[in-house]
Structure 1
Amino acid sequence: MLESIARTASRYALLVMAVWAALAGVGNLAVPQLEHVVKEQSRAFFPTDSGATEAAHRMGLWFGDSDSNNIAYVVLDADRPLGQADRGYYRGLADRLRTTTPGVESVMDLWDDPAAAAVFESRDHRAAYLMVRLSGQLGSSTATDAVAGLRAAVDAAQPPAGLRTHVTGPGPSLVDEFAALDAQLARITVLTVGLIAALLLFVYRSPITAAVPLASVGLALGTARPVVALLGEHGVIEVSVFSVALMSAMVLGAGTDYGIFLLGRYHENRRVGMTPPDALADAYRRVAPVIVGSSATIATALFCLSFAKVSFLRSAGIPSGIGILAAMLGALTLTPALIGWFSRRGRLEPRASTLGRRWRRIGTAVARWPGPILVVAVGALIVCALPLLDAKITFAELAAQPATTESSRGYQAVRSRFPDNRLLPEIVSIQTDHDLRTPAGLITIERVTRKILDVRGVRTVQSASRPAGTPVRQGTLTYQAGQIGEQLSGTAQSALDGMNSVDTVLATVGQLDAALAGMQRGLTGAVDGLNRVGAGAHDIGAGMTGLQGNLREVSGYADPLRQFVNGTPGCADNPICAAVQKIVTPLDDAVGATGTLAGGAGALREGAAGATTALDGTAQNMATMRTALSQLRGLTATLRSSLDAVGPQMQQLTGYLRQLSTDFAGSSEGGFYLPPRTFDDPQYRRVMTMMFSPDGHATRLLVYGDGESWGRDGAERSAEIRIAADEALKDTPLAASGSVDLTGVGTATAELITYVQHDFTLLVIATLILIFVIVAGMLRSPVAGIVVLATVTISYASALGTSAAIWQHLVGQPLHWAVPALAFIALVAVGADYNLLLAMRLRDEARAGVRTATIRAFAGTGSVVTIAGIVFGLTMFAMLGASVVTIAQVGSTIGIGLLIDTLLVRTFVVPPIAVLLGRWFWWPARHDGGAVWVHGLGLGKGDDRPERIHDRTATAG
C-alpha cells in the first residue's frame, strides 16, 4: 500500500504540487496572518486562577482602581535637577493619563505630595516616576493594547527641554520581549532557510536536490500557519509569539529531516541499480513508517505542552504539533511527488560519495568493540551532564529581553538614580470588617510594616504609617514627647518665675510680724493713755465751755468787719477785704471750734472709756495673730526649699523629653501613634486615598527588596513577607477579622516556579510514556523502546549540562526557566526519530545477524542521519540570532542536543547496546530451531561471530 501511495504521488506530481500550493495560497489569503492573530488573541502569561492574579483582582475590587496585574511606570529623568517646568509636565501628564487615555485604570502620582515624595523622587532630584495600573492581564492582547495606548499618550506630550521619558515596568517588559521576538522572526526564518539551503547544496551539490526538501517544508509551513491562525482566531487553541517562533523552527528542522530521510534512501536504492520509480517506491515503503512514527513522537510530545499551566509553554504545544503534522503530510505526499517529477527528468541522480564506506568502517568498529565504545561514549555523556550539578535556572524575566528596548532603558534610568527594584514592589493588602483609618488601625499597620521590615532582603516598606518609606516623625511617641517637653518647658519656667514670689511673701510675713509686735506694745501703752485721756477730756470740756463764752462776746465786736467782708464782691482779690477776712474767719472758726471741742471733750471722755475696754481684747487677738504668722513663716520657708529642688527637676524633665525626640529622629523606634487630627491634614488625606480603600476596610503596603525581585530572590522573599504579615496581625484587633493578600513580580515568580516544576514533571512523565508506546509499537519491542528512551534522556541531560556550562560560566547568563521543558520535548522527540530510523534499519537488516545488521545500518543511515541532525541543529542554532535570550538559549540547547544525539548517541551508544543485547534487543522474539525470529525476520545464530564480520562486511559492501 505504501508503495502505491508513492507511485500515485509521483504519477500525479503536478496535481499534488498544485493542491499544496493552492492550500498554502488560499489559506494565507483567506485567513488573517498568524502574527495578526497572535496580536489579537494572545492570552495572559499567568493562569487566571493563580494566587497573584486573584489577589490583584480582589485588590482592584476593594480599592476601585484596577483588577489586573498589568503595572507600568512612566519614568522622568534628566541630567539636571528637576524643576517647576518638569513638575508641571508631570501633573499634566498624570491628569491626561487619568482622564483621556484608554486602558489606564488608575494613576499613583505622589511626587507632589510631601508625605510620600521621597519614594517617587530620586535623592539627587534628577528623576521621578508615577505608577500606572493598566487593563488586561500580563501577556494578553488587552494588556499589549493598554501599554501601546500609554506609550502613545506619553509620546504625544511635550516634555520640557532636557527631560527624558520612559515607559517601563512589568507590563511593558513582557510587551517589549514579545515585540523583539516578533520583529526578529522573519530574520531568523530567513537565516534558518539560508543555512539549510547552504548545507543541502554542500551535501547534494545540486540545487534541484536541495530544493526538494525545502519546497516541501516551505509549503507545509505555509499551509500550517493559516490552520493555526484560523483555530487561534476562533479561540480553539492558544497562540503566542513564542509559538510562532517554535513552530517555524520545528517545521523547518523536522520537515527537512523527513525530506532528507526519503532522499537518502532513494539515492541508496539508485546506487544499487533500481529504476527511479522502484527506488522511490521502495524508499517510501521503508521510510514512510519512520516519518509517521517520528512525526507522531514529536507531535505527541508537543501536544503534551497543552497540559502546562504557563501559557508561555502551553501556547507552543498545539501550534507546533500542527506544524509537525503538516510537515509529515508534506513529506508523505509532496516530497515523493517532487522526487518523481524531477527523477523522470534525470535531475535527482545521486552523486558519487565515499561517506557510505566511511560509515561502514565506523559500524565495523562498533560491531567489533561494542563494550569499550559504549563505556567511552557514556563516559563522555556523563562528563557533558556534570555541569547540571551546578546549573542555575533563572526566572529573571528582565534579563531575557534586549537592553535596547524602551522598558530596559527605563530600568537602566531608574537603576542609576534609585535603589534596586524600585519599580518591582510586592503589594501587600490587609482587609478587615471595620475602618482602619483610626489611630488603632494605623498602629496595627505600623506593626505589620515593622514585621515585614524584619524579613531578610526587605529594604523599604511604603504604607499608610510610612508614606515616604521612612517613619513619620510626627507619628512617633518620642517626637510627641519632645513636643510635650517644649510646651512643658515654657509652662514650667512661667510657673517657676511665679513661684519665686515666695521669697517676697516670706519677707512680707516678717515685716508684718514686726509691725504687729510694735502694734501689740503700743496697745498696752494705749490703754493707760486712754485712762489719762478720759480724765483730761473732762477738764478740757470745762475749759472749753468757759472759752466759748468769752469768744462769743469778742465775736460780737467784729460784726462790722464781717459785714464789710460779706458785702465786698471778690473779697479775695481786694487787699483790704482779704486782710479783714483773715481776721473775721479765724474768729468765727474759733467760736465754732470751741463749741465743737466742748462737745468733743465729752465724747472723748466717753470714747476713751470704750476704747480702753476694746483695746484690752485687741491686744489678746494680736498675740494670736502673731502666733499664726510665725507658723506661716515656717511653711513658707519649707516651700522655698522645695522649690529649690523642683526647679532643676523640671529642667531635667524637659531636657530629657527634648533629647528623646532628637535621639529617635528618623528612627523606626520610639513607638507609633498618630493622633486623630492627623487625618484632617490635607497632605495626609491624599496619602489615605492611595493607601486605603474608599471605605477604609482595606489598606495596602508596597514592599521593596534587594536582589532579583523578578527572580528567585523575590520568590523566596514573597513567602516570608506573607508569613510576617500574618504573624504581625496576631494579638491585634485584626487577628480575627483581618486577612492578607499578596501580589507582585516576586509572588508571581514563586507561583511560576511551582507551575514550571509541575509542568516539567507532567511533561516528562506524559512524554516518556507516549513516546515509549509509539517507539515500542513501531519497533515491536519494549526493550528497544526502553533503550531508545534511555539514550535520548541521557542525551538530553548531556545537552542541558553542556548548554548550562556555556551560558552560565562563559556567557554569564543562567538558563531561562523555559529552556529545560522545551529542550526536553524537542530532544526526546527528535532524538527518538534518529534512533527510530537506525533501529528500523537494524530490524530490516536483522536477517544477516545483529553485527552485520549494525554495519549495514551504519552504511545506509550514517550520512543521512548525520546530515539530518546537522540540518536540524543548524535550524535551532539559527535562533541564536534572536536578541531575546530565551529563544537563543532554547535554540542553542536543542542544537547542542541534536549534535550530541546525532554524532554520539546514535553512533556510539544505541548500536553498541543493540550489539551487546543481541536478540534481547528485540524481545519478545520467538525461537525456531537455531535462529531467532523477530516477527518473521531470522537472525542467524552463527552469523554474529566476530571472525566472520569482515567477510559479511565485504559482502555488504
Structure 2
Amino acid sequence: MRAVPASPSVARESAPTPEVPSAGPPPRGRRRALPWAVLALWILVLAVAAPFAGKLGDVQRDSVVDYLPANADSTQVATVQQRLPGGESTDLVLVYHRDAGLTAADRRTAERQIAAVAAAHRLTDRGTPVAVPSEDGTTLMVPVSTTEPGSDEDARAAFVDGVRKTVSSGLRADGLSVEVGGPGALRTDTTGVFETLDGTLMIATVLVVAVLLILTYRSPFLWLVPLAVVGVAAFTARALVYGVVQGMDLTVTSQSAGIMTVLVFGAGTDYALLLVARYREELRRTPDVYDAMRAALRGSGPAVLASSGTVALGLLCLLAADLNNMRGLGPVGAVGVLCALAAMLTLLPAVLVLLGRRVFWPLVPAYGADQGRGAGPGDAARRPSRRSLFAAMGGSAGRRPAVVLAAGAVLLGALALGMSRLPGTLTQADSFIDRPESVSAMRTLADAYPERGSQPIALTGPTAGADRALERARTTEGVASAEPGRSEPSAGGTGRSEIIVFAKDAPQTAGETRTIEALRAGLRAGGGADDWHVGGPSAQQLDLDRAGAHDRKIVMPLVLAVVLLILIALLRSLVAPLVLVVAVVAVWGAAMGLGGLVFGPVLGFGGVDRGLPLLSFVFLVALGVDYGIFLMHRIREEALSGAEPAAAALTALRTTGGVIASAGIVLAATFAVLMSLPLVMMAELGFVVGVGVLLDTFLVRTYLVTSAAVLLGRRMWWPGALRK
C-alpha cells in the first residue's frame, strides 16, 4: 500500500507503460468544471453514506463464538446452550476475599449482599447463590445466574453493573474485597473495552497523521487537505462495510473495524504523499494547475494502482481462513484500501486544483523553477547529485554490495532468533493491558482454589444418552466434578441436555487442556462423537488455537503465491520478484523476533495473541512489498533508459528515497497508534507491523534490495528482455 516516492524525477516511477497518443486536453470550460463535478459527486457520496457509516458498530461481533467456525466443537455447544431453557443466561461469580482470612463479620456481609442480589433480580435455579469457601479460608466463591437480560447486551451490562453496586455498598475499608467475575462479567467488561476502540483509535490516528503531515509539508494549510480527504475515505469505507455485512455472511469485529481505520489513514496518507510530491514538481514545469495535476496523475497513478491492488488482493486471501474474524477482515480491509485509493485519485486532485498554488504557502512552487532539469529516467543519473542521506546510503551499498547484503542478512537472521523468546498463547486473563474487575476476580479464584477449576466446561448432547455421558465425564482423568445441567425434553427423543464439568486445573492451563481433550476422546470412544460436544470458554480458546494453526498453513502460502504472481506480472521477471518476497518474509521474521525480545521482558505481556503471526504476516508481506515494487520499477526504468545496472539501482534509491521514507514513517506511526489501545492483541499487532515497516523502509529497501540489484546486475531481470 505504500508506493510513495517523492522525487523531482518521479514522473514514471511505476511499471513502464507505453505512451498513448493523447487527444489533447479537454476544452478550457469543461476542464474547469471537472473538479467541481468531482467535488459534487463526493458530497453526494457522503450524503448517501451518512445514514449507514454510524451503524457499523451495531453489526460488530466480538464474542469468542462469533470468531469460531460453525463446525467447531465448542460452537456446537454454544448453539445448543442458547436453545436450552435459560439459554440466554448471564452467569456471574461473586468473589469475597481477605488476605488474612475471612472473619465472621465478612461472612455476614456476604450473606446480606447475596440476599440483596437475590431480592433485586430473578435468579435461575442453577444460579441459586451458594457460597463455596476456599480451603485456606481467605475466599468465598458465590455463583449467580439470571435469564432476566436475555440477549439484550445493554440489559446484561445493566445487570452486571447493578450487582457490582449492590456488593460494593456498605464495604468497610478494612481489607475485605469483593469482585464480580464470571463469563457474564467478562463479556460485559470486554464489550465496554471494545466500545471505546473506535473513538480512541480515530482520534489518535488523526492526531498522529496531522503532526506528520505538518512536519512533512511545513505548511499551515496543505496538511489539512489530505487529512480531510482521508477522513472522507474512512467515513465512506464504514458505510460500504456496513452494506457488505448486510449482503454477505461476514463477521466484522471491533479489531477488524479498527484495522480498517488504520489502513485507510495509512494507505491514504501514503498515496497523498506520492501525488502531492509529483504535483508540486509538475507545478514548477507547467503554468496551469489543471495540466500539472493531469501530469501528476499520469506519473503517480499507475504506482498507486499497483500498490493498492497488491494490498487488496493480499487481504482477500484471508477469505480462505476458517476463523470468522480472519475471513471477515479480508473484505473489510480491502474495502478500506480501495476507498482510500478512490478518494486520493479523484477527490484529492479536485480539491488541490480548486485551491491552486496558494495551498502550498509559504513554499509555493513557482512555474519555471525546474526548467532545464531532466525529469525522465536516466536524467537523474546525468545531472549533478546532491549528497543526500539516501545518496550516502546508496554509495555504501554500491561500493561493497556483497558485504552490505551479508551483514544485513545476518542482522535480520539474528533478530528473527528472538521468535524463540515469544511468550505462550495469550489467555483471556492476560488480554487486557489494564486488568478489568472480571479478570482480577479470575486471578483471585485461581489462587484461592488451586484444587479445582473456577470456569465450567460444558457438554451438550441428546437427552437419551445423558446418563452414559455423565458417567464417562465423572470417570475422566482431570475432572473434579460433573453434574447434570439443563435439559430440553421433546417428543421423539430429539431433546438436548447439558452437563457441567469442573476440571481440577485452573482455566486455560495445560492441565485443563488435557482434561478437555480427554473428555472429547472419551465421548468419541463411547460412540457419541457426532452427538456430544465439549465447549465452554476454555474449549473455545482451544478451538481458536486449532483453527488459527490451520489458517496459518493455508493463508500464508496463499498470500506469498498471490504476491509473487503480481510481482512477476508487474516486473516481467522471476528473479526480482523472488528477491522482494524473500526480503519481506525476512522482515516479518525479524519483526516477530523483536516482539519476542520486547513483549514479555519490556512490555510485560503475558502471551502472544493467536492471530498475531497470521495478521502481521499478511500486512508486512502485502504492505512491505510495495516499497520494493516501487524501487524495482524505478531501477527498471533507469535500465531501460540505458543506465548500467549498478548506476540504475543507485539512482533509483537516490531519487525515490525521501518521500518513501516519509511514507514509511507515516505508515509505521499509524500502526503504532494501535499500541495506545487497552488490548494486548492490538498493541502487539501495532508493534510488529510498525517495526516491520521501519525495517523495510530503512534497512531492507535501502541497503539489501539495492545491494542485491547491484550484485545481480542484469540477471535480476531474468528471463525478461532486460537480462540482455
TM-score range, shorter chain: 0.7 to 0.9
Structure 1 counterpart of 2:308, which letter? S
Which residue of structure 1 aligns with residue 237 of structure 2?
A: 224
Deviation at 1:228, TM superposition (A): 1.4
SS in 2 for 1:242: helix
- Quick check: 1:257–1:871 contact (8 Å CA) kept in 2? yes
**Counterpart residue number, 1:372:** 403
Q: 2:262 aligns with which of 249, 272, 276?
A: 249
Whether 1:710 and 2:502 are equivalent positions in the alignment is no
State the Cα deviation string for residues 343-385 of structure 1 (Å, max 9, x = none): 4436264699998733223223323322111111111111111
Structure 2 counterparts to residues 9-408 of structure 1, below 5 A: 12-29=34-51, 32-38=54-60, 44-58=66-80, 64-65=84-85, 72-77=91-96, 80-81=103-104, 82-83=106-107, 86-87=110-111, 89-90=113-114, 93-94=117-118, 97-98=121-122, 107-109=125-127, 111-112=129-130, 118=132, 124=137, 127-132=140-145, 142=151, 144-145=153-154, 147-148=156-157, 150-151=159-160, 154=163, 161-162=170-171, 166-233=179-246, 237-269=250-282, 279-345=292-358, 347=360, 349=364, 357-408=388-439
1:831 and 2:624 aligned: yes
**Residue of structure 1 in register with 2:563 after alignment:** 771
Matches within 5 A, 1:414-493: 414-415=445-446, 417-419=448-450, 422-428=453-459, 433=464, 436=467, 449-453=474-478, 461-464=480-483
CA distance, structure 1, for counterparts of residue 319 and residue 348 of structure 2: 30
Distance in 1, matches of 2:429 and 2:530, equals 35
C-alpha spacing 1:296/1:10, structure 2 compared with 1 (3 Å):
farther
Secondary structure of the equivalent of 2:358? coil
* Aligned residue in 2 for 1:852: 647
Change (3 A) 1:367 1:160: closer
Deviation, structure 1 residue 387? 1.0
Q: Which residue of 2 aligns with 1:782?
A: 574
> Offset at 1:91?
5.3
Aligned to 2:373: none
Measured after TM superposition, the shift of residue 824 of structure 1 is 1.1
For 1:720 and 1:764, the matched residues in 2 are separated by: 31
Matched, 1:806 2:598: yes
Shift of 1:225: 1.4
Partner of 1:720: 518
What residue number does 2:540 align with? 748
Which amino acid letter does the alignment assign opposite residue 720 of structure 1? A
Kindly indicate whether the alpha-carbon contact (under 8 Å) linking 1:788 and 1:832 is maintained by their aligned counterparts in 2.
Answer: yes
Cα deviations by residue, 1:674-733 (Å, 9 ceiling, x for unpaired): xxxxxxxxxxxxxx7x588879996735222435x3366543442134446777x7xxxx
Kept in 2, the 8 Å contact 1:16–1:334? The answer is yes
d(CA) in 2 for partners of 1:311, 1:711: 25
Residues 87 and 335 of structure 1: CA distance in aligned 2, closer, same or farther (over 3 Å): same
- Once residues 2 and 340 of structure 1 are traced to their aligned partners in structure 2, the CA distance between those partners, rounded to angstroms, is 24
Indicate conservation of the 8 Å contact 1:77/1:165, yes or no. yes
In the TM superposition, residue 184 of structure 1 has moved relative to its aligned partner by 3.6
Paired with 2:62 and 2:524, the residues of 1 have a C-alpha distance of 41
Query: Which one-letter code corresponds to 1:408 in the other structure?
Result: V
- TM-score normalised by structure 2 residue count: 0.81
- How much does 1:818 deviate? 1.6
Change (3 A) 1:153 1:790: same
Provide the aligned length of Structure 1 versus Structure 2: 668
- Give distance in 2, aligned partners of 1:40 and 1:817: 15
2:662 equivalent among 862, 867, 885: 867
1:257: how far off? 0.7
Question: What amino acid maps onto 2:221 in structure 1?
Answer: I
- Kept in 2, the 8 Å contact 1:426–1:704? The answer is yes
SS, match of residue 462 in structure 1: strand
Write the deviation string for residues 527-586 of structure 1: whole angstroms up to 9, x where unpaired. Answer: xxxxxxxxxxxxxxxxxxxxxxxxxxxxxxxxxxxxxxxxxxxxxxxxxxxxxxxxxxxx
Secondary structure at the counterpart of residue 127 of structure 1: strand
CA contact (8 A) 2:65 2:540 kept: no
Shift of 1:827: 0.8
The sequence identity of aligned pairs, in percent, is 25
Q: Which sits farther off after the overlay, 379-388 or 299-308?
A: 299-308
Separation (CA, whole Å) in 2 of partners of 1:46 and 1:718: 17
User: What secondary structure, in the 3-state scheme, does the structure 1 residue paired with 2:70 have?
Assistant: coil
> Given the alignment of the two structures, is residue 759 of structure 1 paired with residue 551 of structure 2, yes or no?
yes
State the Cα distance separating 1:337 from its structure 2 match: 2.3
Shift in alpha-carbon separation, 1:419–1:874, aligned structure 2, 3 A: same
Q: TM-score, normalised by structure 1?
A: 0.63
Instruction: State the AA in 2 paired with 1:23.
Output: V
Q: Counterpart amino acid of 1:288?
A: G
**Residues 72 and 164 of structure 1, relative CA distance in 2, 3 Å threshold:** farther
The one-letter amino acid paired with 2:256 is S
Asked if the contact 1:78/1:164 (under 8 Å) is kept, the reply is yes
Deviation at 1:246, TM superposition (A): 0.5
Change (3 A) 1:843 1:430: closer
Match of 2:379 in 1: none
Q: Does 199-208 or 793-802 show the bigger shift?
A: 199-208
Secondary structure in 2 matching 1:292? helix
Amino acid in structure 2 at the alignment position of 1:427 = A
Amino acid at match of 2:56: L
Distance 1:699 1:202, change over 3 A: closer
Q: Counterparts of 1:843 and 1:889 in 2: how far apart (Å)?
A: 37
Q: 1:71-93, CA deviations, whole angstroms, 9 ceiling, x for partnerless residues?
A: 63231526554546744653564
Contact 2:250–2:324 (CA<8 Å) still a contact in 1? no
Q: Distance in 1 between matches of 2:328 and 2:452?
A: 30
1:267 & 1:259 partners in 2: Cα distance?
A: 12
CA contact (8 A) 1:310 1:752 kept: yes
Q: 1:135 to 1:809 in 2, by over 3 A?
A: farther
Residues 208 and 670 in structure 2, CA contact (< 8 A), matched pair in contact too:
yes
Change (3 A) 1:165 1:922: same
One-letter amino acid of the counterpart of residue 77, structure 1 = Y
Which letter does structure 2 place at the counterpart of 1:223? T
Residue 714 of structure 2 is aligned to residue 916 of structure 1: no
- Any gaps of 5 or more consecutive residues in structure 2? 1-19, 371-384
Can you give the 5+ residue segments of structure 1 that lack an aligned partner in the other structure? 100-105, 454-459, 465-687, 730-734, 927-931, 934-938, 940-957
| Shift, 1:829, TM fit | 0.8
1:772–1:417: structure 2 CA closer, same or farther, 3 Å change rule? same
Mapped to 2, the partners of 1:6 and 1:758 lie a distance apart of 54
Measured in 2, the distance between the counterparts of 1:148 and 1:841 equals: 56
For residue 895 of structure 1, what is the aligned residue in structure 2?
690
- The structure with the larger Rg is 1
**2:126 partner letter:** M
Structure 2 CA distance for partners of 1:372 and 1:205, relative to 1, 3 Å: same
Q: CA deviation at 1:336?
A: 2.3
Change (3 A) 1:692 1:124: farther
What CA RMSD, in Å, does the superposition of the two structures yield over aligned residues? 4.0
Offset of 1:862 from its aligned partner?
Answer: 0.4
The structure where helix makes up a greater share of residues is 1
Contact 1:97 1:107 in 2 (8 A): no
Deviation at 1:313, TM superposition (A): 2.2
